[in-house]
Chain A
Amino acid sequence: MKLRRVLLPLVAVLAILGLFYVGLGMDARELPSPLVGKPAPAFELESFFDPEVTITEADFIGEVALVNVWASWCVTCLREKPLLMELARQGITIHSFNYRDTRADAMRYLSRDNNPYTTIAFDPDGDAGLEWGVYATPETYVLDARGMIRYKRIGPLNAKILEEEVLPLIARLEAEKP
């Protein structure tokens, strides 16, 4: 009995320390994206605007498009939004997952300053997020016309990344479109 009283906290402490030790070896910023170069993972979710309508990966495929993962509780997403609005104005298709959110909150988020998204799949439990390997919101993928993931960005887009990476990639993908 007495031994167990000592042993249990000891094991717990060692487990936590071990976890941190392993954590040290990992680089939290370096995120392997095994999905780049692979087809968009399959999913099946309700449409954000109409629970009756089902959205699958097929709805994301067909033209060169961005896929953005966002949530109303994500402050960084809100900061990124004006940039997405600008992209939408330029005619770029943006599909999206509304990630671990409620419809009411997200609706308020959208109504604040318009909706840049062509399609919104409602993912309250992060199911599709798991398939797509969502690490943190906001996240943005670039899909080519055949539905291959060509690029992934964790964290907000900014003007520099757009001009140097995303927009040239989109232009290239548009050009190679059959």
Chain B
Amino acid sequence: MLPELGNFALVLALCLAIAQSVLPLIGASTGNEPLMRTGRSLAVGQFVFLVFSYFALTWAFVVSDFSVEYVARNSNLALPMQYKITAVWGGHEGSLLMWVTILAAWGVAVAAFSKALPREMLARVMGVLGMVSVGFLAFTVLTSNPFNRLLRVPADGADLNPLLQDPGMIVHPPLLYMGYVGMSVVFAFAIAALISGRLDAAWARWSRPWTTVAWCFMTLGIGVGSWWAYYELGWGGWWFWDPVENASFMPWLVATALIHSLAVTEKRGGFKVWTLMLAILAFALTILGAFIVRSGVITSVHSFAADPDRGIFLLGMLAVTLLGALLLYALRAPRVGFGGGFGWYSRESLLLGNNVLLAVACAAVFVGTFYPLALDAFGLGKISVGPPYFDSVFLPLMIPLLFLVGIAPQVAWKLADPVETARQLRWAFLAALAISVVWPLTMGLWKPLTALGLGLAAWILLTAALDIRNRMMRRRSQGIGSMVRSLRPSFFGMHLAHAGLAIVVVAISMVNSYEVDRDVRLGPGETASAGGFEFTLMGVEPVRGPNYDADQATIIVTRNEAHVAVLTPQRRYYDSQPENPMLQASLNRRPTRDVYVSLGERLEGEAWLVRLHYKPYMFWMWTGGLLMAFGGFLAAADRRYRLARDRAFITEEGLAPPKRPVGREVLE
């Protein structure tokens, strides 16, 4: 009964979404206030129904109701409870339900936090969000209903894909969906601005925290995905340029560009049209991501079961979004205006550089991902584009970008003097240079690319520290409290996020140059070495987990005869698919290196194939990613944005500034 109620709630949510996509917009164009206000309550209603629906599906998993087809395919009786709950989003249908639920949650958040938005603007934003909801809800109900029943109820379910039975997998999809879905809010703001033809600093100030928060979630989602792949897939790789990774990376790149372009729009009124275009593209890329993953158009480890109907539907959504948004853009963008001018050397010009580089990077990823498909479509053969392409295209784009990260925050808006920048930053530059020479030597071998990467990372960190110090020193006379207060969250958050990026760059530079992977044959008592560590296999014994058998090796790791760790990698044979063993790697993590062992096949006798990894600075990769997201959250939490909301004047016309005489008027 509960699944039917869940289904019913899902359909009701769709009905509310349809109303939400029409009524507020009519209200906004006719100036009908009650209609405008419906947006908010419809969003709340939608959210309530979807939460209920989501709960109904979760319950079906908890009680193992295998009459629900989706449950039967993605769970079984032996599955541990925490994975039963997370299996809700382990397959296509359930993950879509989660997607629409999160979308509704964002809608409620917008309704709740944007009380000070002009009514027309809020109504339009809610209307556009309603349309996005209609798209995804209709997709769920029509092609991917998670509540479909089975006529013949199986005694036990299949299983959740063993790869997904892992803590990393529990958090990866929700975080990523939070980010993806957040892009719809950004998109809604952009479309609302296009409809009204008004785009000013206030609009940018409202959009900024939403964009930043969505970006943070996307950063976390991608980071956790990479972390999960790193230890769970047992290859020691953390990024594979897989089409689906690219699908999440492309909107991230565009969103990163958008954050920076929004800064220009808010502070200087510049880049207006470009900002809108980026917002549209970021959202379109999230739909494209869904299309790639869920249509089967490209094969990848991430692909859900392919179904051409779903592909057609998502393609239709993509077409409507792109054509609709671009048509609106073509009609309205000239009215929005291009914004003020700026000198050839100014913060605007440097941020323009940032935007161009990020956009080109995204285009390069796009080409690499779809080039094989295009060739195939024209009958020119099937090819695959591997990491060599992406590495060789990406590196030359990232070097100037990272260099700019160090400069742009120090440079004044509108017009600046490069000589002045050079004077300010010369010591930071020399110090970064020195670090790039010395740091790689600690790894025993100096490599130019590593030196370049470490130098750029040091450059970002040093210039950030310099900027923070300068700002505090300006308030030196006013005491320490004032000095600390001068570090506004938006300012400090920006530098934290940049520092996070620098730390990720350190990790990439180090691990790409100095990692050691060795496949060795080890019998009991035998020792092999990798990366300066010795690995001794003590033995391999069978162990039993909740729903799998495993061979577990005990490997003692030493360095120069000093004990380092005991590692216990497993080779798991899940009851549901024992012929497809899963590698459970075992890691010993330290700040500047991971030692990592996974257990391969059994060779003759008691000997095993063991894979030894030495991964320098991997810890920095995850720390850097967290720092980036944390910096973003901090920046988004700046009171500046909230004050702006409180101060915003609500007028019938929309975003008009408060109509107050600027000077004193002489009255008769």
**Chain A interface residues toward B at CB < 8 A:** 5-6, 9-10, 13, 16-17, 19-29, 31, 71, 73-75, 78-79, 81-82, 100, 112-113, 126, 130, 133-137, 160
Instruction: For the A-B complex with A31-B382, A82-B609, A100-B386 known, give 16 more contacts whose Cβ atoms are closer than 8 Å.
Output: A13-B322, A16-B370, A20-B297, A22-B377, A23-B377, A25-B308, A28-B299, A29-B299, A78-B517, A82-B519, A100-B388, A112-B518, A126-B383, A133-B381, A134-B383, A137-B384
Report chain A residues within 8 Å CB of B296.
Answer: 24, 27-28
Q: B310-335 vs A: 1/0 string, CB under 8 Å?
A: 01100100110011001000100000
Q: Which of B295, B370, B520 contacts A19 (CB 8 A)?
A: B370
With both beta carbons as reference points, the residue of chain B lying nearest to A114 in the complex is identified as: B519
Report chain A residues within 8 Å CB of B600.
Answer: 82
Report chain B residues within 8 Å CB of A126.
Answer: 383
Q: Which of A13, A24, A78 contacts B326 (CB 8 A)?
A: A13
Are B318 and A17 in contact (CB-based, < 8 A)? Answer: yes
**Chain B interface residues toward A at CB < 8 A:** 235, 237, 240, 291, 295-299, 308, 311-312, 315, 318-319, 322-323, 326, 330, 370, 373-374, 376-377, 381-384, 386-388, 517-520, 579, 600-601, 609
Are A20 and B519 in contact (CB-based, < 8 A)? Answer: no
Report chain B residues within 8 Å CB of A29.
Answer: 299
User: Would you give the shortest CB distance from B340 to chain A, in whole angstroms?
Assistant: 22
Are A26 and B377 in contact (CB-based, < 8 A)? Answer: yes
With both beta carbons as reference points, the residue of chain A lying nearest to B334 in the complex is identified as: A2
Are B297 and A24 in contact (CB-based, < 8 A)? Answer: yes
Are A130 and B315 in contact (CB-based, < 8 A)? Answer: no
**How far, in angstroms, from A137 to B387 measured CA to CA in the complex?**
12
Contacts A28-B297, A73-B386, A137-B384 given: A19-B235 contact, CB under 8 Å?
Answer: no
Contacts A13-B322, A31-B382 given: A112-B240 contact, CB under 8 Å?
Answer: no
Q: Which 6 A-B pairs have the closest CB atoms?
A: A136-B384, A113-B519, A135-B382, A22-B377, A23-B297, A24-B311
**How far, in angstroms, from A23 to B377 measured CA to CA in the complex?**
6
**How far, in angstroms, from A21 to B295 measured CA to CA in the complex?**
11
Are A10 and B298 in contact (CB-based, < 8 A)? Answer: no
User: Would you give the shortest CB distance from A90 to chain B, in whole angstroms?
Assistant: 12
Task: Among B315, B382, B518, find the residue whose CB has the most chain A CB atoms closer than 10 A.
Answer: B382
Are B517 and A28 in contact (CB-based, < 8 A)? Answer: no
Are A10 and B384 in contact (CB-based, < 8 A)? Answer: no
Report chain B residues within 8 Å CB of A26.
Answer: 297, 376-377
Report chain A residues within 8 Å CB of B376.
Answer: 23, 26, 28
With both beta carbons as reference points, the residue of chain B lying nearest to A135 in the complex is identified as: B382
Are A28 and B384 in contact (CB-based, < 8 A)? Answer: no
Contacts A19-B374, A28-B299, A79-B235 given: A71-B386 contact, CB under 8 Å?
Answer: yes
**How far, in angstroms, from A18 to B579 measured CA to CA in the complex?**
40
With both beta carbons as reference points, the residue of chain B lying nearest to A129 in the complex is identified as: B383
20 pairs from A and B in contact (CB 8 Å cutoff) = A6-B330, A10-B326, A13-B322, A13-B326, A20-B315, A21-B315, A23-B297, A24-B311, A27-B296, A28-B297, A28-B299, A31-B382, A71-B386, A73-B386, A73-B388, A78-B517, A82-B601, A112-B518, A133-B381, A136-B384
With both beta carbons as reference points, the residue of chain B lying nearest to A76 in the complex is identified as: B235
Are A130 and B297 in contact (CB-based, < 8 A)? Answer: no
Task: Among B291, B296, B308, find the residue whose CB has the most chain A CB atoms closer than 10 A.
Answer: B296
**How far, in angstroms, from A20 to B297 measured CA to CA in the complex?**
8
With both beta carbons as reference points, the residue of chain A lying nearest to B333 in the complex is identified as: A5
With both beta carbons as reference points, the residue of chain A lying nearest to B530 in the complex is identified as: A112
**How far, in angstroms, from A153 to B121 measured CA to CA in the complex?**
57
Report chain B residues within 8 Å CB of A17.
Answer: 315, 318-319, 322
Task: Among B235, B384, B609, find the residue whose CB has the most chain A CB atoms closer than 10 A.
Answer: B384
Report chain A residues within 8 Å CB of B377.
Answer: 19, 22-23, 26
With both beta carbons as reference points, the residue of chain B lying nearest to A18 in the complex is identified as: B377
**How far, in angstroms, from A27 to B330 measured CA to CA in the complex?**
36
**How far, in angstroms, from A112 to B236 measured CA to CA in the complex?**
15
Report chain B residues within 8 Å CB of A25.
Answer: 308
Contacts A31-B382, A73-B386 given: A112-B311 contact, CB under 8 Å?
Answer: no
**How far, in angstroms, from A82 to B601 measured CA to CA in the complex?**
8
Report chain A residues within 8 Å CB of B382.
Answer: 31, 133, 135-136
Report chain B residues within 8 Å CB of A75.
Answer: 235, 237, 240
With both beta carbons as reference points, the residue of chain A lying nearest to B518 in the complex is identified as: A112
